[in-house]
A and B are shown apart, each in its own frame.
Chain A
């Protein structure tokens, strides 16, 4: 039947782009097996211009995800390995005296790329962390009094090892809020792991990957996502969810207005990726764990759950209006 896909996007001009994104997702899915949701969430971050924090143990494919996204979307890519002796200049770059010309010349740091992978961000000192986070927020860096814009789009995937490890500096809550989403990758499923073990080396696959989109197309996807229709009924639901986090005694504090806006944008981007011209409650529900997981702290009196458990509880507590 023709009309069983709700709110089809067919009529919107970005229709073709959305198909391309679907192709990119399929391609990425072949490299990072069984993680379609995470790939979609990462793309949602990319489209809305938010940054992504991946919290998981080493070796589950965080770097691979970042690299394949950069490849598929035709973006420049840099990786910064965070260590405890990392300095802000190692991220941003520095002005260095050049003998030939007799003047200082700015050598841009690895931050000057479309997609930056900040690996193990909680291992660096707060000083280095804040250099990155400032750049994320401002989308420009200032060195020696000169402000240099970062490329557009600019997108950071930071990875963080689980916090109960020695020698880490966990990001404070105010800085966690800078990340649109925080997701975990988790172990692959049985089937996916078997394929992983049988298949070719992932790096080779990555080399074969052809870009599907380019930066300007990503920017038009972004504006299409932000223009996506959001009905009052959906905002009612969104506000009910946010209100619950503020009024329920289970949480230390509720979601901020900034979080609410991020929530809406993420749902819009998700709906766009799902090929819908309007946002439905399922879109909110899909992005909710990534958006609220790192922003909500359970009260000390309540058992502290994983972000996924927090999100599940919140969803069950609030009926769809």
Chain B
């Protein structure tokens, strides 16, 4: 009778492989849908659906020419969308489309294996856009799913329950955790981004730019996104002194303030009083070459440059979270010995515009005894006359924007006041410039960090007075002192600013604080773990940082130690039980006989062995038999005198 052979198992295998691969691919690609052009993820989804149709409803597979055409179209489409094949977006878009292309022709174990490897890479690329806790949490089950899928499609036993492979996958991932941790801590961190991840501007987060025009800061104030977090190592300065300096803007073209060309980069002596304020900043990517520092920074982190304007510049734009330490003085004087030609730069104005403002400045100049008086006059005007501090200042148009603001609308945000004030000062012959940055910051009671948000973006001014150097003047404070003393929410009680909701509901505010603190911890310990923290860790371990050979050795030793530990655990679990005393003696007896060429094979019982030995060596028969009988009694009948046995074995001389 012939047994009926089971049907060819391949279709069934193919189905399992496809389903698992698709599940893993979907989980890894889903977050990309938030960042990529919709057609890319949609195309991949349609191909996946078609593949399901092929397997379940017998739809035709893609022909070779379709696949070639699709491949070409994919490249063309990506280029049309991103105008490049470089960069994270175009790269991941291509990767996803190519995964779809592979899906079109996938058949057999090898193809699905490759697809799952691509899936894992697609999973990694998610972190190009987003390195936050929610994504990290999302990726845990996604990686687990991918591991389970790998096990399921590769396991020769197709009947294996998915639960078993899920468990195995979890076990494998968990046991990889220590090695991952060691690699995370010890793998050399390269300063600056590994890939030049320049995300296109339209998707970049809102933040300061290198110029200032009417409306640029009030737009920023609509965002409660976090700009940076600060940890003061000693006492925090009061809010009114927390001016976070970013850039100094010198040039004005009638609408926009720009830094202009750096003309003088000479050394300057900062004379400071009081103790320095030391702090650590965790800076969110600002895509500028600027690090923010408390006014006025005396020392920045390594690899940065402190300009004569006391800006902290870095060689590369900050594209990923950056942790740095700096120290500043809040009571300072600088710019006393600045050359006159350099001062002239801060007195230039575009000609022919804003005649009324110039006129006003001239009148102050004529009446004032000293330049300081002119400053007072200007602030007095902002304070006394009906100027309004608002987020909705209306649009200034026409060539004479300063005039329009000073004499017509009289309502503006900090950039309007700073801009008008500097204009007036320059018109009155006092060197002045605009400083942009942030002002304030709120302490999070959960972890004690100060959070500075985009809504805290601010513009203020500095004027140069003989004998005093550059003096900070904040015209906004003259209009609305609450902005500087209490923050934006207090200064704009009626307006819809982003933090309003949280201030109105303290309970929700606490929740936000807790979430912020969690994110901050994540930032501090995971994301900001770069060369700086790594070198600190190395110092803590008593090693010198930067010695790559030593680093590699430490890495190898650490990983070797982990593997050793795993091996030890496995060995301990599977170790053979220690032989009992009787057994040890018997083995000694066997060794003695083995020395005479009568080796006992591992599966030879004591009786058989005794008989064999007796047969070969009749002279030993009596003692061998009695020793073996005693051993069998002791070991298999649990009776007899173990000491007598030991003595017999000891006395045994073959």
Contact = CB atoms under 8 A, between A and B. Distances in A.
A5 interface: yes
A319 interface: yes
B162 to A, nearest CB: 22
Contacts of A318: 603
B625 A1 contact: yes
Nearest to B611: A282
A234 interface: yes
Nearest to A282: B605
B152 interface: no
Contacts of A231: 635-638
Interface in B594-628: 601-608, 622, 625-626, 628
A319 B622 contact: no
A3 B637 CA distance: 14
Interface string B614-654: 00000000100110111011011110000000000000000
B53 to A, nearest CB: 36
Interface centre among A3, A4, A285, A317 (most CB of B within 10 A): A4
B636 A279 contact: yes
Interface in A1-50: 1, 3-7
A277 interface: yes
Contacts, number: 73
A234 B629 contact: no
Interface in B6-43: none
B205 to A, nearest CB: 57
Interface residues on A, range: 20 to 34
Interface centre among B629, B630, B636, B637 (most CB of A within 10 A): B636
A151 interface: no
A1 B607 CA distance: 16
A227 to B, nearest CB: 13
A221 interface: no
A280 B626 contact: no
A316 interface: yes
A320 interface: yes
A231 B602 CA distance: 19
Contacts of B622: 1, 4
Contact of A278 (B1, B608, B636): B636
A175 B638 CA distance: 37
Given A231-B638, A278-B632, A3 B626 contact: yes
Interface string A288-321: 0000000000000000000000000001111111
A110 B637 CA distance: 43
A7 B603 contact: no
A285 B608 CA distance: 11
Contacts of B607: 6, 280-282
Contact of B632 (A1, A280, A285, A316): A280
Interface in A234-270: 234, 236
A280 B606 contact: yes
Nearest to A278: B637
A319 B602 contact: yes
A304 to B, nearest CB: 15
A282 to B, nearest CB: 4
Nearest to B628: A6
A136 B593 CA distance: 49
B638 A4 contact: no
A60 interface: no
A4 B625 contact: yes
A236 B635 CA distance: 12
Given A1-B622, A231-B638, A280-B607, A7 B602 contact: no
Nearest to A314: B603
Given A3-B630, A6-B607, A320-B602, A277 B625 contact: no
Nearest to B625: A4
Contacts of A4: 622, 625-626, 629
A173 B608 CA distance: 33
A277 B638 CA distance: 11
A6 B603 contact: no
Contact of B633 (A1, A6, A279, A316): A6
A306 B602 CA distance: 23
Contact of A6 (B1, B577, B583, B629): B629
A281 B607 CA distance: 8
Contact of A277 (B629, B630, B637): B637
Contacts of A236: 577
Contacts of B635: 231, 233
A229 interface: yes
Contacts of B625: 1, 4
A315 B637 CA distance: 22
Contacts of A281: 605-607, 636
A318 B608 CA distance: 16
Nearest to B622: A1
Contacts of B626: 1, 3-4
A315 B601 CA distance: 11
Contacts of B636: 6-7, 229, 231, 233-234, 278-281
Nearest to B630: A3
A4 to B, nearest CB: 4
Interface centre among B577, B583, B604, B607 (most CB of A within 10 A): B607
Q: Considering the complex of A and B, which 7 residue pairs feature the smallest CB-CB distances, nearest first?
A: A319-B602, A278-B637, A281-B605, A4-B625, A6-B632, A282-B605, A6-B629
17 contacts: A1-B622, A1-B625, A3-B630, A6-B606, A6-B607, A7-B632, A229-B636, A229-B638, A277-B637, A278-B633, A280-B607, A281-B606, A281-B636, A317-B603, A320-B604, A320-B605, A321-B577
Given A169-B1, A285-B608, 11 more contacts: A6-B629, A229-B638, A236-B577, A278-B632, A279-B636, A280-B606, A280-B636, A282-B605, A315-B603, A316-B603, A320-B605
